[in-house]
Structure 1
Amino acid sequence: MKAFQYITGIIIYLLCMQACSKDNIGESGKNPYQDTVLPAILISKGGVVPDKGHMDEEITIRGKGFKEHQQELSILFNGQAASIISVTDSTVKVKVPAFASTGNITAQVGQQYFFGPFFRVLGPMETDTIYPSSRGADNNIRDIIPLEGNKYLIVGDFTNYDNANIDGGVNRVARINADGTIDRSFKYGRNTGSPSTVVKAAALPDGKYLVAGSFASYEGLPYASSITRLYNSGALETVNVTRPSGKVQPTPAMKGGVSGVINNLHVQQDGKIIVTGFFRYYVKPNYNLVTVNGADSLHLDSTLVNLLCRLHPDGILDTSYNYDLVNHRGMEGVNGVINKSILLPDGKLLIAGTFTKYNGAAALRVARINTDGTLDPTFNTAQGANGPIGEMAIQPDGKIIITGEFTTYGPQQAPKIARINTDGTLDGSLQVGVGSNGMIFNVSVMPQGQLVLSGYFSRFNSITCNNFLVLNPNGSIHTTYNTNGGISLGTNDVTGGFTKVLQLPDEHAMLGVGSFTKFDFRQCNRIVKLRYQ
């Protein structure tokens, strides 16, 4: 029996070898897998002269094989085809095309692509290479706000900034100078507990700061429930509480906060604070309790508020804002997520996200809220976006730019970006064609009305762009502001991009912060300064 199995195995092996030989060797007896496919052309290493230039300037590309394949040859600058001026076997002269951007030059012959050297396209919007972006933050910067004295407050997930190597770290909150260096007069070291993040910041009229996000302690003190107030020095503002035992205990000065994440933070002119985010309960520590044995005890009192609430300046819940006084809880509010909220000059609040209702009334992913928290019926909320809105920006004229995963607004086409009027209706003057082929995470309005977009996309209409783009006010692609190489996303940076763009109109510049590590193919660790003409 064993001998039969052995012989059978040999026969199967020989049949397989014969089959493989027939498959691998053609009738000519030649093995096709031994053929070497020679490249149609070859671009020399460093064979682009000059290696940088403006649109419409002439450059020479050196290599071989160009003349033979002249009829099929295309030269691409980051996807944009150039006009070919002349061709020899060893050189091809071209003009840098319109909408070219920094990146590798590629030659195309039929369906074959041959990658060439790096070429930097120059233009009127350039990275400020003096600004110390490479020494930025070691993790995400989520917000940046201007301060007096030409300084800025940044918050996020970082534990170091500007390679400061400060004892205890630069934990999630930092003040930086106008030149991008860290302000060492600010208090650093032990701040928020871990894991935690600081998402938003606000400057108060008295020079103090509010910071909010997702944290349960600050400077080692508990019950800083995702929002707390800092002195101008950066130190936590505290008050002393006398416990039933007579013990005096330091606590955060803010008397309450939320159980969850605060995504948006707004300070009204009267000092009251509106917060929105991923939370359902307002919480406030009660320090006046005792155990059955008479020892000090503590309990977190909680009130249902559902993603939106307003606080008094001391952190106490404002029950005059979207609140049910009979049932002692917040009103129903939204039936989905609030991704973005903006406090308007008249005190009303603009909200956008995934919701379709507000307090039971139709509100298709965007709504305007009155100063008492009720829905503003003068804002057209019944004909909104057909998909989630992730970001908003306000133009100087009050009109609103929205971006997200929608394709229509009301009955009209709006591919992932739209402009709406102050009454909530669509402004059809923003025409973007098919728009982006990916997500737009952030939108900012420049002083002259241009729109700065960033996110996770590689094309906008027919133009190649690396996760960054500037549009004209009418939605067309700006002809000269898009020569930079954009945001380079690494393997783990699928959500990379800007989280905030701060316009600096007096400088003709803007600061961008976020989760990126490269901009225009330069090392920019979560912060970059762009100058424009």
Structure 2
Amino acid sequence: MINIIKYICVGVLMLNLYACSNKLEYGPDPYAGGRESVDVVFGEAAPMPSQAKPGSEVVFDVRGLLKYKDQLKFYINNIPAEIKAVSDSTLTSIVPENCSTGGVKVVVDGQIFAGPMLPIIGKISVDPTFQSGVGANGPIYSILRTSANQLFIGGSFTDYNGNAASSKISGIARITNNGEFVRGMQFGQGITGAITSMSEIANKDILISGNLTQYDTIKLVRNMTTISPTGALQVQSTPILNLTSDPAKSNLIAPVFNGGTLSPIVKSFYQNNKVTAVGQFGYYTSNYYTRSTFDNILIDNFPMGGVVRMSANGTLDDSYFVNKNTLPYKGFDGVNGVVNDAFLQDDGKLILVGAFTRFNNTQSANYIVRLKDDGNFDADFQVGSGANGFISDISYSNLTKRYLVTGAFTVFNGKPANGMALLHEDGSLDTDFHSLGFTSGTPNYSVQLSNGMTIVTGSFTKYNNVVREGFMVVDGKGNLVKDYNNTGKLVGTISDALEGTNSLGQKTVTLVGIIQSFNGKSNLGNIVRLTLLD
């Protein structure tokens, strides 16, 4: 016990001596040599003017710059901007020529100070007359204007601008030309699944397709069906086999359109009283009512490799895309990959684009192929070796008679084509068009407008080394169009677009898809309308 106390006393004595020492060594200061703190602060006042054109002077409310005036760098939307003057409370800058809407920042000795957003004035802007509010609460994949000037949107959403509280909304809605929700439509419970494509057919009904297993309370939908202009599913009383004594089980309320696919449809078309569908499906299917009972609906499947053509009521057209050299007959195998998009020409020929390299296991088809009006491979389509990477999208211009394809490729038919290629109607490359190169991403959607310009969207951050974050407007040569590239960053994916005119008589383009934000504005609800001034 005495030894234990002795050791404790010695230990306490050593601690006291150590604590009293003034010669302790702590090692080097970990913060020595750091940069001096820079006291630069942006104020709350808006820039003067609050929006500006390229080449104009703008005064920004920012303090603490004067003593660093020889070390400053200033940027507008990540583009270096000329500093005209600096005071204790302001910085005056010249808006760069290729500038677009975005945030400003000051850089002092490598330290970055973020400032406000500066809207750039140009000929394209978000349309303030479009009253979509918070829009849809899910993706919008398709937008359609009918011959009666009705607007429909389809996708995978359950609300539009807060109207779900009073109206059932599921995958489809009608809106006014100003973007407002139209009440009183007969959608019932809407769709179960998602709508990816819509077309108006001859009797003014609307063909909808996608991943659809049910419309309203009817569960006999096979990924496509028809609805009336009022939104009601087109149904009829269909005779079925009745093995009971209950006469009510002798008929079934079923969709008028009796046809579809076993797997989702990417795109569908209506032309000359025929319906053409494209997707990742392996079978055409229809409900076989003749041998069905009220409680057991039989289906009839026919092998089809991702392309099928039907009559207007859904009956299979076995003269299209069907190999009759084998018994039993079956559809062609189609492409050996994924179809991302398609376009049906006026002459019935169908162009497919996507991630595939062969058609029917025999013909080379590097990410693009055209089918004749009977569904056979079209060797006259002069795309040559095609693309060297997948194609996301194809658009057509009635004005120029050209196709624009976009995607993750750098070469098309042996020629440089960084993400974009313009094709003549015969598939040959338009050599007057040149993609000037994308940075940090690729284009994945385009719409060729009636004025000859093209909107291109995607994941890119620059085009031709000019900041264009996910959105740009190019001309028929592939150049950025002056005054039409003033808008800011697009975050999201565009699926469809529709040209129109607003209440002020201005040309508009409505974009739908999965849109998180655009031009500094969020909560757009996956739909935004732009105005394009002449």
TM-score by length of 2: 0.88
Report if aligned partners of 1:40, 1:109 keep a CA contact under 8 Å in 2: no
Cα deviation digits, residues 365-417 of structure 1 (max 9, x gap): 11221110111111124410001101011122221100011111121111111
What is the one-letter code of the residue matched to 1:135?
V
What is the one-letter code of the residue matched to 1:368?
R
Aligned CA distance change for structure 1 residues 168 and 268 (closer, same or farther; 3 Å):
same
Counterpart for residue 18 of structure 1: none
Comparing 54-63 with 229-238, greater Cα deviation is found at: 54-63
> Are 1:136 and 2:135 matched, yes or no?
yes
Counterpart for residue 154 of structure 1: 153
What is the one-letter code of the residue matched to 1:391?
D
User: What is the CA-CA distance between 1:171 and the residue it aligns to?
Assistant: 1.1
Report if aligned partners of 1:45, 1:116 keep a CA contact under 8 Å in 2: no
Aligned CA distance change for structure 1 residues 275 and 65 (closer, same or farther; 3 Å):
same
- Provide the rounded CA distance (Å) in 1 between the counterparts of 2:97 and 2:24: 53
* Structure 2 segments unaligned to the other structure (5+ residues): 5-10, 16-22
Comparing 512-521 with 135-144, greater Cα deviation is found at: 512-521
What is the one-letter code of the residue matched to 1:331?
F
- Provide the rounded CA distance (Å) in 1 between the counterparts of 2:379 and 2:109: 58
- Provide the rounded CA distance (Å) in 1 between the counterparts of 2:334 and 2:96: 51
Counterpart for residue 525 of structure 1: 525
Cα deviation digits, residues 44-103 of structure 1 (max 9, x gap): 333632222222221112334434333442221111122222233443211111222222
SS in 1 for 2:44: strand
Aligned CA distance change for structure 1 residues 296 and 514 (closer, same or farther; 3 Å):
closer
> Are 1:484 and 2:487 matched, yes or no?
yes
User: What is the CA-CA distance between 1:208 and the residue it aligns to?
Assistant: 0.6
User: What is the CA-CA distance between 1:518 and the residue it aligns to?
Assistant: 2.6
Quick one: which of 503, 525, 528 aligns to 2:499? 503
User: What is the CA-CA distance between 1:199 and the residue it aligns to?
Assistant: 0.7
SS in 1 for 2:451: coil
Report if aligned partners of 1:334, 1:355 keep a CA contact under 8 Å in 2: yes
What is the one-letter code of the residue matched to 2:164?
N
Counterpart for residue 340 of structure 1: 341
Quick one: which of 375, 384, 387 aligns to 1:385? 387
* Structure 1 segments unaligned to the other structure (5+ residues): 4-9, 15-20, 490-495
User: What is the CA-CA distance between 1:424 and the residue it aligns to?
Assistant: 1.7
Report if aligned partners of 1:58, 1:93 keep a CA contact under 8 Å in 2: yes
User: What is the CA-CA distance between 1:500 and the residue it aligns to?
Assistant: 1.0
What is the one-letter code of the residue matched to 1:342?
F
What is the one-letter code of the residue matched to 2:199?
A
SS in 1 for 2:264: strand
- Provide the rounded CA distance (Å) in 2 between the counterparts of 1:380 and 1:121: 42
What is the one-letter code of the residue matched to 1:272?
K
Report if aligned partners of 2:445, 2:495 keep a CA contact under 8 Å in 1: yes
User: What is the CA-CA distance between 1:519 and the residue it aligns to?
Assistant: 2.1
Aligned CA distance change for structure 1 residues 126 and 168 (closer, same or farther; 3 Å):
closer
- Provide the rounded CA distance (Å) in 1 between the counterparts of 2:307 and 2:348: 15
Quick one: which of 287, 300, 305 aligns to 2:289? 287
Counterpart for residue 374 of structure 2: 372
Report if aligned partners of 2:439, 2:465 keep a CA contact under 8 Å in 1: no
- Provide the rounded CA distance (Å) in 1 between the counterparts of 2:134 and 2:186: 20
Quick one: which of 213, 216, 220 aligns to 2:217? 220
Which protein shows a greater Rg? Answer: 2
Counterpart for residue 513 of structure 1: 512
Report if aligned partners of 2:187, 2:233 keep a CA contact under 8 Å in 1: no
Report if aligned partners of 1:24, 1:32 keep a CA contact under 8 Å in 2: no
Counterpart for residue 123 of structure 1: 122
1:121-270 correspondence runs (5 A): 121-165=120-164, 167=166, 169-193=168-192, 196-245=193-242, 247-269=250-272
User: What is the CA-CA distance between 1:214 and the residue it aligns to?
Assistant: 0.5
Report if aligned partners of 2:138, 2:158 keep a CA contact under 8 Å in 1: yes
What is the one-letter code of the residue matched to 1:335?
N
User: What is the CA-CA distance between 1:110 and the residue it aligns to?
Assistant: 4.6
Counterpart for residue 357 of structure 1: 358
Cα deviation digits, residues 138-177 of structure 1 (max 9, x gap): 1111000111343211100011113223556211111211
Report if aligned partners of 1:512, 1:527 keep a CA contact under 8 Å in 2: yes
Comparing 198-207 with 158-167, greater Cα deviation is found at: 158-167
SS in 2 for 1:499: strand
- Provide the rounded CA distance (Å) in 1 between the counterparts of 2:349 and 2:334: 15
What is the one-letter code of the residue matched to 2:203?
D
User: What is the CA-CA distance between 1:439 and the residue it aligns to?
Assistant: 2.9
- Provide the rounded CA distance (Å) in 2 between the counterparts of 1:48 and 1:31: 40
User: What is the CA-CA distance between 1:419 and the residue it aligns to?
Assistant: 0.9
What is the one-letter code of the residue matched to 1:336?
G
Aligned CA distance change for structure 1 residues 50 and 507 (closer, same or farther; 3 Å):
closer
How many matched pairs? Answer: 501
Aligned CA distance change for structure 1 residues 249 and 418 (closer, same or farther; 3 Å):
same
Report if aligned partners of 2:461, 2:468 keep a CA contact under 8 Å in 1: yes
Aligned CA distance change for structure 1 residues 159 and 189 (closer, same or farther; 3 Å):
farther
What is the one-letter code of the residue matched to 1:456?
S
Aligned CA distance change for structure 1 residues 24 and 46 (closer, same or farther; 3 Å):
farther
Cα deviation digits, residues 316-342 of structure 1 (max 9, x gap): 111000102333210122112111111
- Provide the rounded CA distance (Å) in 2 between the counterparts of 1:82 and 1:290: 73
Counterpart for residue 17 of structure 1: none
Counterpart for residue 8 of structure 2: none
- Provide the rounded CA distance (Å) in 1 between the counterparts of 2:498 and 2:237: 37
What is the one-letter code of the residue matched to 2:376?
T
User: What is the CA-CA distance between 1:474 and the residue it aligns to?
Assistant: 1.3
User: What is the CA-CA distance between 1:180 and the residue it aligns to?
Assistant: 0.9
In angstroms, what is the RMSD of aligned CA positions? 2.6
Cα deviation digits, residues 20-56 of structure 1 (max 9, x gap): x999732xxx452796731264333336322222222
Aligned CA distance change for structure 1 residues 290 and 59 (closer, same or farther; 3 Å):
closer
Counterpart for residue 402 of structure 2: 399
User: What is the CA-CA distance between 1:443 and the residue it aligns to?
Assistant: 0.4
User: What is the CA-CA distance between 1:480 and the residue it aligns to?
Assistant: 1.3
Counterpart for residue 416 of structure 1: 419
Counterpart for residue 20 of structure 2: none
Cα deviation digits, residues 444-476 of structure 1 (max 9, x gap): 112222111112222223222232111122112
Comparing 117-126 with 60-69, greater Cα deviation is found at: 60-69
- Provide the rounded CA distance (Å) in 2 between the counterparts of 1:388 and 1:138: 30
Report if aligned partners of 1:402, 1:418 keep a CA contact under 8 Å in 2: yes
- Provide the rounded CA distance (Å) in 2 between the counterparts of 1:458 and 1:88: 33
Report if aligned partners of 2:359, 2:365 keep a CA contact under 8 Å in 1: yes
TM-score by length of 1: 0.88
SS in 2 for 1:165: helix
Report if aligned partners of 2:419, 2:437 keep a CA contact under 8 Å in 1: no
What is the one-letter code of the residue matched to 2:181?
I
SS in 2 for 1:68: helix
Aligned CA distance change for structure 1 residues 288 and 85 (closer, same or farther; 3 Å):
same
Report if aligned partners of 2:383, 2:413 keep a CA contact under 8 Å in 1: no
- Provide the rounded CA distance (Å) in 2 between the counterparts of 1:241 and 1:440: 47
Counterpart for residue 429 of structure 1: 432
SS in 1 for 2:231: coil
- Provide the rounded CA distance (Å) in 1 between the counterparts of 2:301 and 2:57: 68
- Provide the rounded CA distance (Å) in 1 between the counterparts of 2:297 and 2:147: 39
Comparing 43-52 with 392-401, greater Cα deviation is found at: 43-52
Report if aligned partners of 1:225, 1:256 keep a CA contact under 8 Å in 2: yes
Counterpart for residue 74 of structure 1: 73
Comparing 86-95 with 249-258, greater Cα deviation is found at: 86-95
